[in-house]
Amino acid sequence: MNAAILVALILNLVLVGGVLLLVRRIHRHSTALSEKVSSTTALVGIPPQVDSGFSAGKPRLITVEILNPLELAATQNRFAGIAGAVAPERIRKIVYERAALQMTEQLIEQGIDVDVQVHVGA
């Protein structure tokens, strides 16, 4: 009886230790991701200014910025996550091209005459 209780206590201690190690690992990973998000957000900066030709009474312009192109690509294709680590700019280009195509198709289906273009900043 005492041996069974001792074995159960040891197993519980091992299990608690394993859970604590897992929690530490998740915390380190979360901290690293938070730092990466902070540095990436700083790189995005302020959106470019729209040309002065779009003042009052002139044609209107809607801008769309995809804030998470690599994550979006990873949800659509399991290899995009790996490719995003190797060639992130290529993945961003593909995501924007596909988004522009999808927006064009959906707006045309709704009877809206559109010209969707992808502009790359300097």
pLDDT tens-digit profile of 6-15?
999 999 999 9
User: What tens digit of pLDDT does each residue of 30-75 get?
Assistant: 888 888 877 776 666 555 565 555 556 666 777 788 888 878 777 7
The pLDDT value recorded for residue 20 is: 92
- DSSP code, position 78: T
- Higher-confidence residue of 119 and 82: namely 119
* 12 and 85 Cβ atoms separated by less than 8 Å: no
CA distance 84 to 66: 15
As a whole number, the mean pLDDT across the chain is: 80
* 69 and 95 Cβ atoms separated by less than 8 Å: yes
Helix count (H) and strand count (E) of the chain?
4, 0
**Would you place residue 90 in the very low, low, confident or very high pLDDT band (cuts 50, 70, 90)?**
confident
Determine if the pTM surpasses 0.85.
Answer: no
Domain spans of the chain, in order of start: 1-45, 47-122
